[in-house]
Amino acid sequence: MSSQSSHTRAPGPLSLPRLKSALARVGLSVGPVAIALVITGGLLVAMGVNPLEYYGFILQKGLMTPSGLQATLTRMGPLLLIAASLMVAFRAGLWNLGGDGQFLLGAVIASAVAAPLNDMGAPSWLTLLAAMAAGTITGGLWAILPAILKAWQHINEIITTMMMSFLGISLANVLVKLVFADPATTVPETRTLPYEQRLPSLFGTHISSGLPIGLFAVIAVHWMMTRTAFGLRLRTVGANPRAALHAGLPVGALTIAVFALSAALAGLAGAVEVIGIEGNVRADWNPAYSLLVVPLVFLARFNGFAAIAFVFIFSVLSIGSESAARRMGVPNHFTLVTVAVLLIVLGLTEMVEQRRRDRAGVQ
């Protein structure tokens, strides 16, 4: 009887460290958000704005009204695809910071494919699939050069992907202004896909079906990286390339696969943004979603389900702040200030946590 009682009590001490570890991970993710909101609240006070009123208005417009909630959920679609894109690269130990260029080129090419197909009377499903495929392929191809330079020349991918991003943004603008410009408009933009021909809305609402596409992508990437042999190979290459080589893994091919998959998802995000929300691409348009999502993915610790939660929070903040800016006289881009503060706090938090690990003797 005594042995049985000791057996049943055994899980208690074992579960306590797990609980502490889980709470620590939650604190490292939620803590920087709370600190960033407090700091930006101080900035609002300095601007003569009541931060509680400002944040309350954001929640009201981004979450509490039917139109605001639908706009928030629609905004999540492309952001989730970008989160999936970043998760692939970061979990594999690589930095794809060229997502904005991949996103814009995917959007432009998707728009250039969708409008003519629609004019030719192609079925709506074929038009949408062709546009998404075009955006996906374009994004993937734009990352091949940084992938090759990383795989066989060991050139820092942070530099090459950012350079390719600048080139991609410039090329996208050139294509909009010179190659794919709609001749019927005076402002440079691609031809507009009619609203009724875009990605269908969900359940009679105004929520774009880009949302389930993004959710599926994030969950699929999370499953691939944590539950499949391919994901294990990618994580092994990222953790220790030399050990991966000694284990017989094709490091070069896997590196290119990571970049191609990551960039393809960013290109798909651009396509979904155009055929699900915007309808066309205007000259000099760049929402810079990729760099905005980077801190969200880090806060989520590369966990897909946590990434969904943080993207939702950011979408509420983004949609609500647009209304709050008009209502309370706050600059339109104050959300970017919040993201910048969040990045700084996140970096400081990581530094403190790393020092704590070093003191504890954890490598």
Domain layout of the chain by residue ranges: 73-201+208-287
Q: Which residues on neighbouring strands pair with residue 208, listed in sequence order?
A: 201
Nearest CA to 39 among 356, 352, 346?
Answer: 346
Could you tell me the two tokens for 125?
Answer: 């499903």
Angle (CA) 197-199-201 rounded to 5° is 105
Q: What is the pLDDT along the chain (363 residues), one digit of tens a residue?
A: 444 444 444 444 546 677 666 666 667 777 888 888 899 999 989 988 888 888 888 888 888 888 889 999 999 999 999 999 999 999 999 999 999 999 999 999 999 999 999 989 899 999 999 999 999 999 999 999 999 999 888 899 999 999 999 999 999 999 999 999 998 888 899 999 999 999 999 988 899 999 999 999 999 999 999 999 999 998 888 777 777 778 788 888 999 999 999 999 999 999 999 999 999 999 999 998 998 899 889 888 899 999 999 999 889 988 888 778 777 878 777 877 887 888 788 778 878 877 877 777 655
From 66, 55, 68, 69, select the one nearest 328 (Cα to Cα): 55
How far apart CA 358 and CA 363 sit, in angstroms, is: 7
Nearest 5°: CA angle at 314, between 132 and 294?
70
Q: Give me the pLDDT at residue 203, please.
A: 87
Paired tokens of 192: 């507009």
The torsion angles phi and psi of 151, rounded to 5 degrees, stand at -70, -40
Taking the C-alpha atoms of residue 128 and residue 132, their distance in angstroms, rounded to an integer, is: 6
Question: Inter-axis angle of helices 144-153 and 251-273, to 10 degrees?
Answer: 160
- Backbone torsion region of residue 360, taken as left when φ is above 0, otherwise alpha when ψ lies between -120 and 50, otherwise beta: alpha
**55 vs 66: CA distance, rounded Å:** 18
The residue count for the chain: 363
Predicted pLDDT of residue 341:
86
Q: Work out the burial of residue 31: count CB atoms within 10 Å of its CB; fewer than 13 is exposed, 13-18 middle, 19 or more buried.
A: middle
Whole-angstrom distance, CA of residue 274 vs CA of residue 106: 9
Q: Are 239 and 103 in contact (CB under 8 A)?
A: no
Q: What is the pLDDT of residue 322?
A: 77
pLDDT of residue 22: 66
- Report the pLDDT value the prediction gives residue 10, as an integer from 0 to 100: 46
- DSSP, collapsed to helix, strand or coil, labels residue 354 as helix
What pLDDT is recorded for position 60?
86
Say how many Å lie between the first and final Cα of the chain, rounded. 42
Give the Cα separation of 272 and 252 in Å (integer): 30
What was the pLDDT predicted at 15? 66
| Separation CA 359–CA 275 (nearest Å) | 52
Tokens of 223: 């499953």
Dist CA 156 CA 151 (whole Å)? 10
Neighbouring C-beta atoms of residue 109, cutoff 10 Å: 28
Does the model's pTM come out above 0.75? Answer: yes
